[in-house]
Amino acid sequence: MDVSINGPKVLFTLPFFGGIDVSQSVVSSWVVLALVTVFCLWLTHDMSVTNPSKRQIAAEKLVLMVKELVENNMGQNWQHFAPLVATILAYSFCSSALSITGLRSPTADFSVTLAMALITFSLIQLYHLKSKGVFGFFKRFVEPVPVMLPMNIIGEVSLPASMSLRHFGNITSGTVITALVYGALAAFSRLVLGWIPNTFIANIPIFQVGIPAVLSVYFDMFSSAIQAYIFCMLTMANVASAAE
Amino acid sequence: MKYLDFFTIDVWTIIFTWANMLILLTIIKKLLFKPVTKVLQQRDEEVKKMYAQANEANEKAASLEKEYNEKMAQAREEAGEIIKQATVSAQKREEEIIASAQQQADIMTKRAETEIAQERKKAYQNIRDEISDISVAIAGKMVQREINAKDHEALIRRFIENVGEEK
């Protein structure tokens, strides 16, 4: 039994620009998009003002929770930011939790988490520019003294780097550990059942039943939720402080 | 089978991710936030409208109660007035009845008295006549002769009158 841990598989190549590799990460993201679309449609179909169903109450609660989160972390006049925060939350959580279905998590691909962190980074720079003007935007790199310039640049760049690496590392480690545990459980099953002469029975990986589910609760559900939350909190806090 | 590196920066994956997140943002905005916000807003308006209606109803009820109380007080006053008037007129009527009864009783008593007096007079007359007749008869018998009734009548009458006065 060999356990191999690979990068995302390239599922097909689009014939533009000398071949665009479409990897598992991208296709899994499409699955996430489809799931979220269906979920939203299901949540919000036939809503009523006076007699809300349980489903509608859940939808309203969800929206209000995100709005409250944004309001608490960014302030009253940031309500327009709620959909973006909800997008990051939904994309991050659903992508990470997708490993439950056996598909590869898009967030276990550094390119994906980097893309997300770059969105946050761009927003931070945009709001710096908006609140301080062009002069102030560049001036903050040489504050308090011009010697601090390299430090300031590192500080600016370290945020997206740390955000993307944290998210990637957490989800990937979960994937890797799950793969290792599967391999180990298969080997253990073979050890226990190996004396049976029938090769079919001897190869049934009995210990793979149940035990990985416990790990999945942590790595797929808990870790996914925490990472999505952390990513959103960092985005909100940094964008809000950039706008000050 | 081709694999991307385990840890790599793939530009096309980044671009795809941006596109995906943009699409997801649109989906969440249009399919979740927009309808839910709309419903919440409508509900807010409805609640405000209901509060306004409730306030209006309350004010109306208060004014109706005031009106009712005023009318009740007025009615009570009127009832008191009517009872007072009735009492006064009843008293007056009572007095009238008593007065008229008294008057009638007086009249009747007077009439009875005159009648009694007349009867008595008549009885005297009768008795006087009879006595005079009897006296004449007795005197006639005593003197053994016919007394001229007419001659003595004046004498007898004086006697009887004296008797009547002495009585």
Distance CA A133, CA A153 (A): 18
Residue with tokens 């509608």, as numbered in its chain: A56
Distances (CA, A) of A114 to A22, A71, A120, A166, B167: 17, 26, 10, 10, 160
Q: What is the rounded distance in angstroms from the CA atom of residue A156 to the CA atom of residue A138? A: 12
pLDDT at B149: 65
Q: By C-alpha distance, which of A120, A134, A126, A216 is closest to A171?
A: A216
Highest mean pLDDT (candidates A52-56, A107-111, A141-145, B113-117): B113-117
Tokens standing for residue A96: 């990470």
Q: Tens of pLDDT along A131-168?
A: 988 888 888 888 888 888 999 899 999 999 999 999 99
Q: CB–CB of A115 and B43 under 8 A?
A: no
Residue A91 has pLDDT above 90, yes or no: yes
- Which A residues, 7 through 66, put their C-beta within 8 Å of a C-beta on chain B? 7-10, 20-23, 25-26, 29-30, 32-33, 36-37, 40-41, 43-44, 47-50, 52, 56, 59-60, 62-64
Backbone φ and ψ of A203, nearest 5°: -95, 5
Question: Rounded to two decimals, what is the model's pTM?
Answer: 0.71
Q: What is the pLDDT of residue A132?
A: 87
**The pLDDT value given to residue B147:** 58
Question: Within the 67-106 window of chain B, which residues sit less than 8 Å (CB to CB) from chain A?
Answer: none
User: What's the rounded mean pLDDT across residues B40-48?
Assistant: 92
Q: Say what the pLDDT of residue B166 is.
A: 55
- Residue A38: pLDDT band (50, 70, 90) is very high
- The pLDDT of residue A90 is 93
Give the confidence band of A243 by pLDDT, cuts at 50, 70, 90.
Answer: confident
The ranges assigned to domains in chain B are 9-165
**Smallest Cα distance from B50 to chain A, Å:** 12
Instruction: Give the pLDDT of residue B164.
Output: 64
Mean pLDDT of A86-96: 93
What confidence category does residue B151 fall into, taking pLDDT thresholds of 50, 70 and 90? low
pLDDT above 70 covers a percentage of chain A that reads 99
Q: For B78-122, what is each residue's pLDDT tens digit?
A: 999 999 999 999 999 999 999 999 999 999 999 999 999 999 999
pLDDT tens per residue across span A61-85: 999 999 999 999 988 888 888 999 9
